[in-house]
Structure 1
């Protein structure tokens, strides 16, 4: 198991999943990739001009990526990554699609991610990133439940 993809969103559940991914990586001497996927920005939104004006989507996406990368660095400072090779990736798009696409293109051996504690009814109507990744991924997916305190 050479490469492990770890999608995170900053929630306690994804933090717990990252901890488990680190445990697996240490056991198998795997390289970790921590991934944040930010949803595509709407066409209308913030900008330097009046509210509701169109702004450069690419410029805004780059700004979001930079912010998310800093957030990820802060997130990982709390983790015990000593002796592990890892990198940070930030993508903009639909989270489950980006996770699946990246895992296939870069040939990851495992995806480790958290599962939110949605009720069955909420999952039915909203869907779930982890469920969509599980059903569409080319490699094994380890779903980590919420941490019980």
Structure 2
């Protein structure tokens, strides 16, 4: 198991998943890639740019990327990555699609992803990123439940 993909969103659940991925990486001497996918907005509305601002504009996307870079830096700063080879990647798009596509293109051996604590009814209607990744991934997926206090 050489390569582990860890999708993150800055939440405590994704932090818990990252900790489990680090444990696996230490055991198998694996490289981890932390992936943050920001859903790319394609909405037209009113914003600071006035009526009809396209939130998917280049300026807005650049601001979104900067915000995501800060989120990733803060997230990585909380982890004990001593002795672990790792990298980070930030993408814009539909999170589950980007995770699956990256895992296939870069031939990851394992995806470690956190699962939010949605109720069964909410999961049924909304689905979840982890559920969609689980059903569409080409490699094994380790889904980590919410960490209980």
Question: In which range does the TM-score fall when normalised by the shorter chain?
Answer: over 0.9
Q: Is the 8 A contact 2:40 2:56 kept in 1?
A: no
Structure 1 match to 2:32: 32
Higher-strand-fraction structure = 2
1-structure distance, mates of 2:4, 2:146: 20
* Higher mean displacement: 75-84 or 51-60: 51-60
User: Unmatched 5+ residue regions in structure 1?
Assistant: none
RMSD (Å), alpha carbons: 1.6
Q: Detail structure 1 runs of 4+ shifted over 6 Å in the superposition.
A: none
In the alignment of these two chains, the number of paired residues is: 149
Structure 1 match to 2:54: 54
Q: State the 1:116 CA deviation.
A: 0.6
Q: Is the 8 A contact 1:96 1:133 kept in 2?
A: yes
1-structure distance, mates of 2:146, 2:33: 21
User: Unmatched 5+ residue regions in structure 2?
Assistant: none
Q: Is the 8 A contact 2:41 2:56 kept in 1?
A: no
Q: What is the TM-score with the length of structure 1 in the denominator?
A: 0.93
Structure 1's 123 and 34: CA in aligned 2 closer, same or farther, altered over 3 A? same
Q: What is the TM-score with the length of structure 2 in the denominator?
A: 0.93
Q: State the 1:56 CA deviation.
A: 5.8
2-structure distance, mates of 1:77, 1:53: 35
1-structure distance, mates of 2:43, 2:72: 26
Structure 1's 136 and 40: CA in aligned 2 closer, same or farther, altered over 3 A? same
Structure 1 match to 2:148: 148
Three-state SS of the structure 1 residue aligned to 2:53 is coil
Q: State the 1:62 CA deviation.
A: 2.8
